[in-house]
Amino acid sequence: MNSNGKKNENNKDEQLEQFRVRDEGKKLTTNQGLKVSEDEFSLKAGERGPTLMEDFHFREKMTHFDHERIPERIVHARGFAAHGEFEVYESMKKYTKAKFLQDPAVKTPVFVRFSTVAGSRGSAETVRDVRGFATKFYTEEGNYDLVGNNIPVFFIQDAIKFPDLIHAVKPEPHNEIPQAASAHDTFWDFVANNQESAHMIMWHLSDRAIPRSFRMMEGFGVHTFRFVNDEGKAHFVKFHWKPVLGVHSLVWDEAQKIAGKDPDFHRRDLWDSIESGNYPVYELGVQLIAEEDEFTFDFDVLDPTKIWPEEDIPVKIIGKMTLNRNVDNVFAETEQVAFHPGHVVPGIDFTNDPLLQGRLFSYTDTQLLRLGGPNFHELPINRPVCPFHNNQRDGFGRQTINVGQVSYHKNSLAANTPAPASEEEGGYVHYQEKVEGRKVQRRSESFKDHFSQATMFWNSMSEPEREHIIGAFSFELGKVKSKSVQQQVVDMFSNVNVELASAVALSIGVTPPKEGGSNITKTSPALSQLNTKILPNTRKVGVIIGPNFNGEDVAKVCHALKAEGIIVEVISDKLGIQKGLDGTEIIVDHTFLTSDSVLFDAIYAAGGKDVSQKFKEQAAYFINEAFSHFKAIGATSEGISWLPKGLLGDSPGVILEDGNMNKFAQDFVQAISSHRHWNRDVVK
């Protein structure tokens, strides 16, 4: 029990502590523990002579450095992770016997790695892409990995096509261009010729693919899994992570600019939030379908290109995850963590989703190469918190010292141990699904509808979201050189919606569809981000302040913003301290040069009596940029005069002070919470 009366907290952290090394204040040694007397000059034959092989410290230091890199992940190379804990709200006994889903008093340690898919390890984070959302639960029954994405469907229906998909989206092999982008010929050629991708493409070209923050995106297990209870009864289950801050995105122009201004934008946001105690929280939801209802839907429950509309099959919220600790070392933890959809615990099982089945092979296979052998489960971040015993031995980097003569089963010399556990003892027993059939290389007829849900997605979008999708198609296909591929894609998406395909055709100069269209009218309101939660918490406001500002007013506004959980950072033309007329002193966090409008959720022009023309122009640049990205803008005293004339009217989300500072602060908080003001007169 800990101080909150919660059990199990946090035995993973305790385990990791055994491996932490604190070097500060210590003497420098070799890896053999020998104290080193010189670390700047190698051993030479004479001051100007050749370096000697005998210099073991030089050799060790250089050799280790030469071997510091391991292969990056073939997909999801760029990632960032944090520790946390998960607690269930009520026992899920009725549906699953998974122990970590039984007792609300238990806190299960978790490690979550977020990632982009296509880019290399050093690529920018705000590119248009799917985001990985992989969670490792260190349960007392072993590690359970929920290796999901922020988009609930996938591009393909069979894992055998994954290498083709990834070859198509990665930089083209002849010139390795473009990095971390799907806007190129091979990707769109793949799409047009693999039309099962239609639904996923709608998500990929929507705002979901440019999240504002890892803290503001959903996570999905994508596949249909099975919950099995202790009576052996099974339910099909889909997993959802729902961020308590709601689902919010960047706009495309902003996303591209951030990629240059701060390629680490998402990891910085996560890191800073955790460091400042603004712990990201996600609720875990499940959609459940009884086994006997497997065939009652107009989609196949095993098809990973389909969602289960939330309005038809409600998401039951069953627990929450809080990320509350940053890693100590990115390589040791984030880079060496090895997720696997096949890491399950009793009570959670697979289905015959052909995409899932293939994933069950791929993860260990890739990790054997990436982590250099079969012992990566012994790395601190990958170790379960419960003991593990088996007859696996040896291999590169083996760390455990398995004592004794016996390393085989069955045996008599060790009384036939380690022994398999019965189901009652917690042994994992695969769900006894009845399967029969001929060996065939085919896709089920029930997987062949590629467009209905793509249309439902389109139908569910608000007007600005539709404009964003048309813009995204126009951008992506606008970068494609092959006229034929462009035309094929337009023709393909005429099956989703003719207006969409026609608008794209017009923008990229190909022939609009002559036929096509869809008679699907269904919508799923849960798909639109306009229906998400809006909260002021952790929104970041750039406060532009010049010399001799109105100290009392600015302090009042900043105080009101902070009281709502809004983060305030001060921008001026130089670092140091800005003084108010009344002597108030404010520390400047950034200059116009070191920050940028795109790095904030809102801009507050706070004024200052003695600012230069250049200052005003720089402030106006920040304000204009924020305006064009639909962000809240607030202005008080002289700050109002920094606004470009066009913004002074009645623009939505532009809040000007009219003498009543309390009202100003209140309205500004409201405008910031709204995330974006789409009803402005700018190109969306």
* 302-361 positions binding ligand HDE, by CB under 6 A: 337, 339, 355, 358-359
Check binding of 620 to ligand HDE (CB under 6 A). Answer: no
Instruction: Work out how close the CB of 130 gets to ligand HDE at its nearest, in angstroms, rounded to a whole number.
Output: 8
Coil/strand/helix, residue 145: strand
Choice among 143, 149, 382, 550 that is catalytic: 149
* 185-244 positions binding ligand HDE, by CB under 6 A: 222
Contacting residue, 73, 199, 242, 675, with ligand HDE by CB under 6 A: 73
Contact track, ligand HDE, 32-61, x by CB under 6 A: ------------------------------
Q: Of 111, 110, 122, which Cα lies nearest the Cα of 79?
A: 122
Residue 415's alpha-carbon distances to 319, 387, 406, 421, in angstroms, are: 42, 19, 10, 14
HSE at residue 519, side-chain half, CA atoms within 13 A, is 0
- Closest CB to ligand HDE among residues 81, 605: 81
Choice among 76, 184, 235, 248 that is catalytic: 76
Tell me, by CB under 6 A, how many residues bind ligand HDE: 25
Q: Is 416 a catalytic residue?
A: no
- Cα(201)–Cα(492) distance, rounded to whole angstroms? 11
Instruction: Work out how close the CB of 533 gets to ligand HDE at its nearest, in angstroms, rounded to a whole number.
Output: 24
Interface segment toward ligand HDE; rule CB under 6 A; list 2-10, 42-50, 143-151, 444-452:
143-151
Check binding of 79 to ligand HDE (CB under 6 A). Answer: yes
Cβ–Cβ < 8 Å for 409, 418: yes
Phi and psi at residue 25, in whole multiples of 5°? 80, 0
- Closest CB to ligand HDE among residues 169, 222: 222
- Closest CB to ligand HDE among residues 132, 309: 132
Q: Is 624 a catalytic residue?
A: no
Check binding of 676 to ligand HDE (CB under 6 A). Answer: no
Check binding of 147 to ligand HDE (CB under 6 A). Answer: yes
Check binding of 518 to ligand HDE (CB under 6 A). Answer: no
Enumerate the β-bridge partners of residue 138: 143
- Closest CB to ligand HDE among residues 132, 243: 132
Which amino acid, one-letter code, is at 122? G
- Closest CB to ligand HDE among residues 171, 426: 171
- Cα(359)–Cα(371) distance, rounded to whole angstroms? 18
Cβ–Cβ < 8 Å for 591, 542: no
Phi and psi at residue 364, in whole multiples of 5°? -65, -40
Cβ–Cβ < 8 Å for 131, 214: yes
Check binding of 367 to ligand HDE (CB under 6 A). Answer: yes
Instruction: Work out how close the CB of 479 gets to ligand HDE at its nearest, in angstroms, rounded to a whole number.
Output: 25
Check binding of 149 to ligand HDE (CB under 6 A). Answer: yes
Cβ-closest position to ligand HDE: 132
Instruction: Work out how close the CB of 649 gets to ligand HDE at its nearest, in angstroms, rounded to a whole number.
Output: 46
DSSP string, 562-592: HHTT-EEEEEESSSEEEEBTTS-EEEE-EET
Cβ–Cβ < 8 Å for 173, 160: no
DSSP-derived letter for residue 333 is I
Enumerate the β-bridge partners of residue 326: 82
Cβ–Cβ < 8 Å for 181, 118: yes
Contact track, ligand HDE, 95-134, x by CB under 6 A: ------------------x-x----------------x-x
Contacting residue, 58, 162, 241, 600, with ligand HDE by CB under 6 A: 162
Place of tokens 């608000």: 462
Residue 371's alpha-carbon distances to 15, 109, 332, 492, 566, in angstroms, are: 21, 23, 11, 41, 41
Interface segment toward ligand HDE; rule CB under 6 A; list 14-22, 84-92, 147-155, 230-238:
147-155
Contacting residue, 89, 279, 297, 363, with ligand HDE by CB under 6 A: 363
- Closest CB to ligand HDE among residues 81, 504: 81
Torsion (CA) 191, 196, 202, 208 in degrees, nearest 10? -100
Cβ-proximal residues to 46 (8 Å cutoff; 6+ apart), any chain:
none
Check binding of 159 to ligand HDE (CB under 6 A). Answer: yes
Residue 163's alpha-carbon distances to 159, 361, 480, 682, in angstroms, are: 8, 13, 21, 41
Give, in degrees to the nearest 5, the angle at Cα 345 between 79 and 274.
35
Provide the token pair at 46: 């004479």
Contacting residue, 9, 10, 75, 600, with ligand HDE by CB under 6 A: 75
Coil/strand/helix, residue 293: helix
Check binding of 366 to ligand HDE (CB under 6 A). Answer: yes
- Closest CB to ligand HDE among residues 133, 451: 133
Interface segment toward ligand HDE; rule CB under 6 A; list 27-35, 74-82, 228-236, 542-550:
74-82
Residues acting as catalytic residues = 76, 149
- Interacting residues with ligand HDE (CB under 6 A): 73-76, 79, 113, 115, 132, 134, 147-149, 154, 159, 162, 222, 337, 339, 355, 358-359, 362-363, 366-367
